[in-house]
Chain A
């Protein structure tokens, strides 16, 4: 049981495990001995509570770790990548709208003939929304890859400037 518990403890961040790992295992062993004497049902309930506690605890600790790391890390590059994505979208969409406007004025139908071309507003809005979504998603993806690359030090995506150097600094 101790081995299973220590394996589950690996779900926690290293920094947390280094401080509390041994202590938690020791308390778990004492509690196991205690609850085993109270019968199988109590023991099974205790094990379920422990499993749930470990999983939720690990999730909470990783959330804390992530928040504290993102506080330490400056968010300027992320904002810059978001702004760059938004600027590219605006340029492309602006060009598209201008092109469509010119096309409409040069190929305007005669006033007598009924308008046969469908209304393009809805498809344009949908296309714009898709472009915005793709740009934001790609910026977030690139940023996450940088974080993962820095954290593990193994991915080292060479196509991102600065990532390989910062990954090399970490042990």
Chain B
């Protein structure tokens, strides 16, 4: 049987919803509705995830073990909390480094074109 590859690897950049969800979970474990609101806040209201998109992202992140379910006192079938794993944190840091490098390169290009 072929080995199943994780949906996101180091080579592929993260999509914006995935990035925002991971960023939201860096601060604290959250449940679905809190993630929905937090992604909106983090993107200054620019990104409004639908429940279909949000749970698609959560499903993929759970499969690739970037996030995990987190048991809290009010955990029920309707209200599950999620938290970032160390693997997810590592990939988020790699993505941030990639974005920083891109920003540096873009800034340098713009400066040289203006000069």
Chain A interfacial positions (CB closer than 8 Å to B): 16, 19-20, 22-28, 30-31, 46, 49-50, 52-58, 60-61, 68, 71-72
Contact = CB atoms under 8 A, between A and B. Distances in A.
B79 A26 contact: yes
A19 B69 CA distance: 12
A89 to B, nearest CB: 30
A19 B32 CA distance: 13
Interface of B: 1-2, 4, 32-33, 36, 48-56, 58-59, 77-80
B50 A54 contact: yes
Nearest to B50: A53
B4 A68 contact: yes
Contacts of B54: 27
Contacts, number: 65
A57 B78 contact: no
Interface of A is mostly: helix
Contacts of A50: 50-52
Contact of B52 (A19, A30, A56, A68): A56
B17 to A, nearest CB: 10
A16 B59 contact: yes
Given A23-B79, A57-B56, A28 B51 contact: yes
A61 B78 contact: no
A52 B80 contact: no
B59 A24 contact: no
Contacts of B53: 53, 56-57
A60 B2 CA distance: 21
Contacts of B49: 53
